[in-house]
């Protein structure tokens, strides 16, 4: 599989660059700027893209790149900071001109260009820079400029190096995606062969090679990710797979029924339904720290699977492999290499050290929208494929504070109301997530002629493409009013409703 490495210099758009490359049907992978030339060579990428970043090349310290990477003969595209760093390291000149450019900027072509072959003489690009390249390195031809960036685009046809001062990955740059495709197809000579079908075929082959004739367990949580992972592994090994649904008591309303309907009746998969509510609530008693809750839930999940494996071993060798629906954002957010740990996902940072299974994670390199596309290709029903994301620890991370049976039941009923009204309003597919949050505090209210002392519910609804960033959804006021009225009227234990208007960043989508 052809791989494009996106070198992350701390840019807010590094993930977006990776996604744009994938939209061109070429696989991409994000790597830290500290990666060595030897590590790059070992990955055998077809191309490298250097991302933007918040630093100046003149700052100390400033992110750099192993100079030996330029000697590997791999096509490279530098974007914004990546363009400036390339210019500086290859002998050009970057200056603090004191006249940066931010937002929409007029771009003017000059001379023959591969990247801008189909661009008009003047167009609009999206800039965000203070420094500017004022002299291109030897071997480069300047093919575009802006009022404050004399070297807005530079190209070296011999070494297959290119650099752009602006951001082609954002929609505000006219023909930005076309520029990226010119680099991928005509500079790096890569083919657009990474498709849903190729993903499925590659994973089916990898799973068969990894598993052989052994038995496999799959952790079904009710969410999109585990469902698609299960369907993909079923395609690969059929009856060797046993799915396990652990009912933690922290699932959405009617979760178990929907899972059984899909996987036992539609796919004919062997499904074991483990009712473990008591064990999860007992383990979470008195725990309020969100990271501790995630780790407890993650470990208990594994212990339940191990118990199932031991039971199955009574009839022969027990399953050695465990399938999980881990996604690329899970890996990034849980911290890897130089990435900061935002939160431990139960299926990444929450796994116990003494894990007795070998993991199969066929979706580990995919973003959520890519997973949905694969799910459709595999024939999963729309109500599963387009179900909004649900955290692995379930309602346990939507209860802010100690998790109890009472709070879980209140939140489950409240969450059902929120989602039900969102669906009735025709907004379910437009929103990335919409759900209820229960802070473990009680507030004073008045119902009828009496004083109440009950829980608040917070409505959380966000829009996003891949959960790496998100914006709060501007729900219509009449919809918010309907949700609030139903919550207070129908859900016992609730007397107050609030609306979360926080984006990501600075917040996260989930509250814990």
User: Which residues are known catalytic residues?
Assistant: 80, 167, 169
Distance set, CA 81 to CA 50, 140, 141, 173, 340 (Å):
8, 17, 19, 17, 21
Instruction: State how far the Cα of 305 lies from the Cα of 346, in Å rounded to an integer.
Output: 14
How much of the chain is in helix, strand and coil states, percent to nearest 5?
A: 35, 25, 40
Distance set, CA 178 to CA 11, 69, 84, 394 (Å):
21, 26, 22, 41
**How many Cα atoms within 13 Å fall on the side-chain side of residue 22?**
23
Sequence-distant (≥ 6) Cβ neighbours of residue 84 within 8 angstroms: 57, 78, 94, 129, 131, 132, 133, 165
Look at phi and psi of residue 286 and say left if phi exceeds 0, alpha if psi is from -120 to 50, else beta: left
Query: Phi, psi at residue 463, to the nearest 5°?
Result: -110, 145
Query: Phi, psi at residue 475, to the nearest 5°?
Result: -70, 140
231-250 as b/e: b if 16+ CB within 10 A: bbbbbbbeebbbbbbbbbbb
Query: Phi, psi at residue 124, to the nearest 5°?
Result: -115, 135
Instruction: State how far the Cα of 295 lies from the Cα of 301, in Å rounded to an integer.
Output: 10
Map residue 65 onto helix, strand or coil: coil
Sequence-distant contacts of 212-215: CB under 8 A, at least 24 apart:
213/240, 214/240, 214/317, 214/319, 214/320, 214/321, 215/240, 215/241, 215/242, 215/312, 215/317, 215/318, 215/319, 215/320, 215/321
Instruction: State how far the Cα of 237 lies from the Cα of 219, in Å rounded to an integer.
Output: 16
Instruction: State how far the Cα of 415 lies from the Cα of 438, in Å rounded to an integer.
Output: 10
């Amino acid at each position: 599989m052809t791989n494009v490495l996106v070198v992350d210099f701390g840019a807010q758009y590094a993930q977006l660059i990776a996604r744009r490359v994938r939209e061109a049907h070429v696989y991409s992978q994000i790597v830290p700027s500290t990666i060595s030339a030897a590590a790059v060579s070992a990955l055998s990428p077809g191309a490298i893209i250097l991302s933007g970043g918040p630093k100046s090349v003149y700052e100390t310290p400033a992110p750099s790149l192993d100079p030996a990477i330029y000697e590997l003969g791999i096509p490279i595209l530098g974007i914004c900071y990546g363009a400036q760093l390339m210019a500086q390291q290859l002998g050009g000149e970057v200056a603090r001109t004191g006249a940066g450019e931010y937002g929409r900027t007029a771009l003017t072509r000059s001379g023959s260009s591969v990247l801008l072959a189909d661009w008009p003489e003047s167009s609009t690009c999206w800039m965000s820079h203070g420094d500017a390249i004022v002299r291109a390195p030897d071997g480069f031809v300047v093919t575009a400029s802006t009022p404050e960036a004399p070297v807005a685009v530079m190209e070296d046809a011999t070494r297959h190096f290119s650099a752009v001062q602006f951001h082609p990955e954002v929609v505000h740059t006219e023909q930005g995606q076309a520029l990226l495709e010119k680099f991928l197809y005509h500079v790096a000579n890569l083919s657009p062969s990474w498709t849903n079908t190729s993903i499925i075929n590659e994973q089916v082959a990898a799973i068969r090679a990894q598993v052989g004739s052994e038995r496999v367990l799959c952790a079904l949580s009710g969410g999109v990710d585990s469902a698609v992972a299960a369907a993909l592994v079923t395609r690969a090994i059929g009856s060797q797979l046993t799915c396990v649904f652990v009912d933690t008591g922290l699932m959405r309303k009617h979760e178990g029924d929907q899972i059984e309907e899909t996987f036992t009746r539609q796919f004919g998969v062997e499904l074991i339904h483990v009712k473990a509510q008591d064990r999860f609530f007992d383990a979470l008693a008195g725990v309020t720290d969100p990271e501790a809750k995630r780790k407890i839930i993650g470990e208990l999940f594994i212990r339940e699977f191990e118990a199932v494996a031991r039971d199955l071993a009574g009839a022969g060798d027990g399953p050695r492999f465990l399938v999980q629906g881990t996604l690329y954002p899970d890996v990034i957010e849980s911290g890897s290499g130089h990435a900061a740990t935002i939160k431990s996902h139960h299926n990444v940072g929450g796994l116990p050290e003494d894990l007795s299974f070998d993991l199969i994670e066929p979706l580990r390199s995919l973003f959520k929208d890519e997973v949905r596309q694969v799910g459709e290709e595999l024939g999963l029903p729309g109500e599963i494929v387009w179900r909004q994301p649900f955290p692995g620890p379930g309602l346990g991370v939507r209860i802010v504070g100690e998790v109890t049976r009472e709070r879980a039941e209140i939140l489950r009923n409240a969450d059902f109301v929120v989602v039900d009204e969102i669906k009735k309003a025709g907004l379910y597919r437009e929103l990335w997530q919409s759900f209820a949050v229960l802070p473990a505090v009680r507030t004073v209210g008045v119902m009828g002629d009496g004083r109440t002392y009950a829980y608040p519910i917070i409505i959380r609804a966000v829009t996003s493409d891949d959960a790496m960033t998100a914006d709060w959804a501007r729900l219509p006021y009449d919809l918010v009013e309907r949700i609030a009225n139903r919550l207070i009227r129908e859900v016992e234990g609730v007397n107050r409703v609030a609306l979360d208007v926080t984006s990501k960043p600075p917040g996260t989508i989930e509250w814990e």
